[in-house]
Amino acid sequence: MDNVRLRYLLAKRVTDTISPEELDELFALLEKTDLETQEEVLTDILKGKELEHRLPLENKELLYESIRQAVLKDQANTRPNRSVTFKKYISIAAALVVGLSTLLWLWKKSEFDGRHTTENVDLEVANVTDDIYIAPDSVPFLRLPNGEIQVLEDDQPNALAETGVKILQGKDGEIIYEVQHAPLGLFEEENIVFTTPKGQSSKILLIDGTEVWLNSGSSLTYPRVFSSKERRVKLVGEGYFDVAHNTEKPFYVETTNGPLIRVLGTAFNVSAYQEDRATTTTLVKGAVQLEGKHHKVILKPSEQVTANENDAVLHKKRVQVDDFTTWKDGYFNFNEQSISQILAKVQRWYNIEEISYDYTSDEKFTGTFKRTKSLKSLLLKLEKISNVKFQIKERRVVVTK
C-alpha cells in the first residue's frame, strides 16, 4: 500500500501539483523505503502508460537509466548516517523534476505548435539530455549539534524555529537566513554547519549582525552562542563577509588550509575550496590581518593575498575587487582567464563530474555572464567568442577545436 502511495506522490511531484503536506508525506515515505523499491517505483512511473504517447521507448529507457545511475552513485558516495535520507530524496526529486518536467513541457509545446512527429520529439529530447541543469529542489541545509540534518524550506516554520534560523525576504526579494538568539543554557561549543549546495548561493545574517554570502558548494560553521571575548566561524568553500563592527569582540574566520583571518568591522571575500589547497582573501573595505604559522600580513582595500596550505608562501597584490565578488550578485566574472580557468569556476556551480581536453587554447577571455540554470546556454556563449567547441556527455564536458 505504501508503494502505491509513493508512486502517486512521486507522480504529483513530477507534474508540480504536490501540496506542501503531500511533500512532507513523500519525504517520510522515502525515509523508510529502500533503494531497490524506489527504483521499481521510478521504473513504473517512467514506463507507465501515461508517458507512452510522449516519448519513444528508447528515450524513456535512456532517461530512466540516467536517473538510476545518479541515485546509485549518490547512495554509494554517502556514508550511512542521517543525511542519507536527505541526499536520496534530493537526488530523486531533482532528477525527476529536471528530466520529466522538461520532457512534459516539450510535449505540450509540440502540441501547441502542431508538431506531433516522433522525429521532432526525439530531436528535442536529445537537446534536453545533452545538458547539465541546476537541480530545482536543491536548498541549503543545516547540520545540527546532534548530527541531525535539517533542510531549510520556508514551508516548515516549526522545524526551522528549533534550528534557530528564520527565513526572511530582503528588499530585492532575495532570501535571507537569519540566525536567531539561542535559548538559555546552550554552550559556545554547540556548532551549526550551514551548507549551500551546488548551483545555489545563500545569504546568512548572523546573530551579531554580520552578513555572510555563501557561494555554491560552500559551508559555514558558527556557534549557537558567540563567546564573550571573540566571534569565530569556519569557512569551507567561498564566502563574502560584511562584518558588524565590535572592537571588544574581534571576528575570526578559519579555513581548512589557510591563515586565520582577524577583523573588527570590514567587508572581504575569502575563497578556500579544499581542492585548491590555497586560501585567497580579497579586501573590499576596512582592514584585515592574516595570521599564519610563519607570517602576519595586513590587507588594505583592493589588496589580495593568496596563501598556500602550509603557509610557506604568501602572494600579495592589488586587484579589481569586482572580479572576485560579483558571484554573490549571480554572475560569473572572468578577467583575462583561459578556458581551463573559466571551466574550473563553472564546475563549482554546475554538477560537472569531469572536464577533458581534446584541444587546448591559449586564448584569454574577459567578460561577465549571468549564472543560469543550464550549463549549455553558458557554453554556447563561450563558443561564439572563442575557437573551441564543447560537448556534454552525461556529466562530462569535452573541449574540442
Q: What is the pLDDT of residues 7-57, one digit of tens each?
A: 788 777 656 677 777 777 877 787 777 656 766 676 666 554 344 334 444
- Give the distance, in angstroms, between the CA of residue 246 and the centroid of all CA atoms in the same chain: 31
**Which H/E stretch holds residue 72?**
helix 57-77
CA–CA separation, 138 and 67 (whole Å): 16
Q: Is the pLDDT of residue 291 over 60?
A: yes
Which residues are 238's β-sheet partners? 271
Q: What is the mean pLDDT of residues 76-82?
A: 43
Whether residue 120 is predicted with pLDDT greater than 70 in this model: the reply is: no
Highest mean pLDDT among 54-58, 161-165, 188-192, 233-237: 233-237
The DSSP code sequence of 36-69 is: HHHHHHHHHHHTSGGGTTTS-HHHHHHHHHHHHH
Residue 191: is its pLDDT beyond 80? yes
**C-alpha span between 181 and 164 (Å, rounded):** 7
Q: Please tell me the least confidently modeled range out of 44-53, 190-199, 201-210, 390-399.
A: 44-53
Round to whole Å and give the CA distance between 338 and 360.
9
Which of the residue ranges 55-69, 255-269, 327-341 would you say has the lowest mean pLDDT? 55-69
User: Mind spelling out the 3-state secondary structure of 137-167?
Assistant: CCCCEEECCCCCEEECCCCCHHHHHHHCEEE
Grid cell listed for 179 = 540566525
**pLDDT in the model for residue 185:** 52
CA distance 342 to 336: 10
Q: Which residue has 546556454 as its cell numbers?
A: 377
Whether 206 shows a pLDDT value over 50: the answer reads: yes
Say what the pTM is: 0.67
Q: Is the pLDDT of residue 284 over 70?
A: yes
On the question of pLDDT at 178 being above 80, the answer is yes
Q: Does 150 or 20 have the greater pLDDT score? A: 150
Determine the average pLDDT of the residues in 135-144: 77
Helix, strand, coil percentages (3-state) for the chain, rounded to 5, are 35, 30, 35
Measured in whole angstroms, the distance separating CA 212 from the mean position of its chain's CA atoms is: 15
Q: What is the mean pLDDT of residues 90-104?
A: 43
Rounded mean pLDDT, 251-259: 89
Measured between alpha carbons, how far is 340 from 350 in angstroms, rounded to an integer? Answer: 15
Angle between helices 102-113 and 118-129 (to 10 degrees): 150
pLDDT for residue 231? 95
pLDDT, tens digit, for every residue of 360-379? 888 888 888 888 777 888 88
Distance between CA atoms of 365 and 308, rounded to whole angstroms? 26
Distance separating alpha carbons of residues 143 and 150, to the nearest angstrom = 7
pLDDT of residue 299: 92
Other C-beta atoms lying within 10 Å of the C-beta of residue 217? 20
**Domain segments of the chain: what residues?**
2-129, 141-324, 330-400
Confidence of residue 239 (pLDDT cuts 50, 70, 90): very high
Least confidently predicted of 66-80, 126-140, 175-189, 274-288: 66-80
Query: Three-state SS for 331?
Result: strand
Residue closest to 374 by CA, chosen among 351, 390, 342: 351
Percent of the chain at pLDDT exceeding 90: 24
Residue 363 grid cell: 586564448
DSSP 10-25: HHHHHTT---HHHHHH
With H, G, I as helix, E, B as strand and everything else as coil, classify residue 391.
Answer: strand
- What is the pLDDT, as a whole number, of residue 75? 47
- Domain 330-400: give its CATH architecture: 3-Layer(bab) Sandwich (3.55)
The residue among 230, 285, 284, 216 whose CA lies nearest residue 260 is 230
pLDDT on residue 50: 42
The mean pLDDT of 146-154, rounded to a whole number, is: 80
- Band (pLDDT 50/70/90 cuts) for residue 250 is very high
**Which pLDDT score, from 0 to 100, does residue 183 have?**
63
Average pLDDT, the chain: 75
- Higher pLDDT residue, 274 or 96? 274
Angle at 315 between CA 310 and CA 321, to 5 degrees: 120
Task: Please indicate whether residue 354 or residue 64 has the higher confidence score (pLDDT).
Answer: 354
What pLDDT is recorded for position 53? Answer: 38
- The DSSP symbol for 246 reads -
* pLDDT band, residue 300 (cuts 50/70/90): very high
Classify 141-324 by CATH class.
mainly beta
Helix (H) or strand (E) holding 290: strand 288-291
pLDDT for 189 equals 64
Q: Phi first, then psi: give them for residue 114, nearest 5 degrees.
A: 80, 20
| Measured torsion, CA atoms of residues 194, 350, 276, 303, in degrees rounded to the nearest 10 | -80
